């Protein structure tokens, strides 16, 4: 028995014809199969907008006219050209809207739709909606993500911020996929990876793609291109203590647009190991001078971030041999940010003079040496950077670290 599943989408003529109807409705889309197309229809034509209403009416008119054309061809031998059938459908749609009292939001999409149906539409003036960045709950980090697709390439970016708006980390990267939905999901996947590396356990995620939100929440099924990434995201969510994801307006998601520009390149997250170690040395040298002053604001600020940067004393995470070695020349306070910086600087400056077993612990300079401390204190660099940015960004020997900073 012949059904609409065959003649409407799986028939080559009807498939191409439906594509022409969609183009008249303002939608450029190539149908592939009956199952795929009906899923798309039920998903995208259910809205209350004027274009969706026109598309639904055009769908009904198309099914009706193609069936009439098929019956006329089989039973009477009467053939109508493709253009004749198309104009019949367009005329049918326009008649259906002719005497209706239509009101719609005043935007370009609805004005184009009203021109197609040649109907009188009462346009409602646009409402102004104030959008601003939404801070996370107490003890949570906000992750704003975004994706971009151009003719040349796809790219994604994200930025993690604390409740007061200060930047924890920013990242960006290129994407091989040509599907914007997959790029948006990739941005979230990378952001959660960064968060876990920083030992962040409570996070709020905001994206301007409702489709992505629904995929991650399990409201809709991910495509074959995004299924693996969504599964990976769910695994990461399972390791966190608190997770929240919501849709946000693009205008309030500008924080995620910023890292897509060149400005993010100078963020310390993208520094190589050599630059990171040079920064530690310069910061430690500066703090040694500050130590001569009483009640130094920068030292107070630095020591206040110990819980965030170190999680407590720093000596338990290191080998006893290394702790014994650094204590030979001077005493260190193991709950001090300044003293950890001093230890890094001293071992870096005297690396060649260190015993072989200590060199093996710290590993080669710069990558191994930096990795030793970065692996134990993933938040240490960014917290020192934020303090130095606040107090020293105008000083000559720090300017090179802060040009085009995202902080």
**Hey, which CATH number is domain 141-260, 3.30.70.260, 2.130.10.30, 3.30.420.10, 1.10.1660.10?**
3.30.420.10
Listing DSSP states for 348-391 in one string gives HHTGGGS-HHHHHHH-STTHHHHHHHHHH-TTHHHHHHHHHHHH
Angle between helical axes of 337-349 and 273-290 (0-180°, round to 10): 120
CB-based contacts of 226, cutoff 8 Å, min separation 6: 179, 181, 182, 185, 215
**Hey, which CATH number is domain 268-402, 3.40.50.360, 1.20.1440.180, 3.30.300.130, 3.30.2130.10?**
1.20.1440.180
Residue ranges of the domains in the chain? 4-124, 141-260, 268-402
Listing DSSP states for 185-250 in one string gives HHHHHHHHHHHHHTT--EEEEEES-HHHHHHHHTSSPPPTTTHHHHHHHHHHHHT-SEEEEEE--G
> What pLDDT is attached to residue 403?
67
> What pLDDT is attached to residue 269?
74
Nearest-angstrom CA–CA distance, 266 and 281: 18
The pTM for the full model equals 0.49
Q: Tell me if 41 sits within 8 A of 59, measured CB to CB.
A: yes
Q: What is the mean pLDDT of each run of 10 residues along the chain (407 residues)?
A: 52 80 85 77 82 90 83 76 86 89 85 86 82 89 90 84 86 84 94 91 94 93 91 95 93 65 61 92 88 75 91 92 88 93 94 94 94 92 91 83 62
CB-based contacts of 55, cutoff 8 Å, min separation 6: 22, 25, 27, 45
Nearest-angstrom CA–CA distance, 280 and 382: 11
């Amino acid at each position: 028995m012949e059904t609409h599943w065959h003649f409407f989408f799986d028939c080559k003529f009807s498939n191409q014809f439906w594509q022409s109807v969609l183009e008249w409705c303002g939608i450029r889309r190539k149908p592939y199969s009956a199952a795929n197309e009906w899923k798309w229809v039920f998903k995208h034509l259910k809205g209350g907008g004027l274009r969706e209403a026109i598309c639904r009416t055009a769908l009904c008119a198309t099914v009706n006219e193609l069936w009439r054309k098929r019956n006329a061809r089989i039973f009477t031998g009467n053939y109508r050209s493709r253009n004749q059938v198309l104009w019949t459908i367009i005329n049918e749609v326009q008649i259906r809207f002719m005497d209706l009292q239509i009101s719609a939001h005043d935007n370009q999409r609805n004005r184009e739709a009203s021109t197609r149906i040649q109907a009188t539409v009462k346009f409602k003036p646009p409402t102004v909606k104030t959008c601003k960045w939404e801070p996370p709950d107490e003890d949570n980090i906000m992750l704003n993500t975004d994706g971009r697709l151009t003719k040349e390439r796809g790219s994604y970016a994200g930025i993690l911020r604390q409740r007061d708006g200060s930047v924890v980390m920013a990242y960006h990267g290129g994407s091989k996929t040509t599907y914007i939905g997959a790029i948006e999901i990739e941005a979230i996947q990378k952001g959660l990876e960064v968060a876990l590396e920083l030992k962040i356990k409570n996070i709020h995620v905001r994206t301007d793609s409702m489709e992505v939100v629904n995929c991650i929440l399990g409201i809709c099924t991910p495509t074959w291109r995004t299924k693996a990434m969504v599964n990976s995201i769910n695994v990461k969510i399972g390791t966190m203590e608190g997770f929240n994801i919501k849709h946000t307006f693009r205008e309030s998601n500008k924080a995620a647009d910023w890292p897509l520009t060149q400005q993010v390149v100078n963020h310390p997250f993208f520094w190589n190991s050599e630059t990171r170690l040079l920064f530690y040395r310069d910061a430690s040298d500066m703090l040694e001078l500050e130590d001569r002053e009483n009640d130094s604001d920068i030292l107070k600020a630095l020591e206040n971030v110990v819980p965030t940067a170190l999680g407590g004393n720093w000596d338990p995470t290191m080998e006893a041999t290394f702790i014994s070695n650094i204590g030979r020349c001077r005493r260190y306070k193991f709950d001090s940010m300044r003293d950890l910086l001093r230890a890094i600087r001293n071992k870096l400056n005297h690396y060649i003079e260190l015993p072989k077993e200590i060199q093996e612990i710290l590993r080669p300079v710069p990558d191994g040496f930096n990795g030793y401390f970065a692996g134990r204190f993933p938040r240490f660099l960014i917290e020192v950077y934020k303090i130095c940015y606040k107090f020293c960004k105008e000083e000559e020997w720090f300017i090179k670290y802060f040009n085009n900073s995202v902080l």
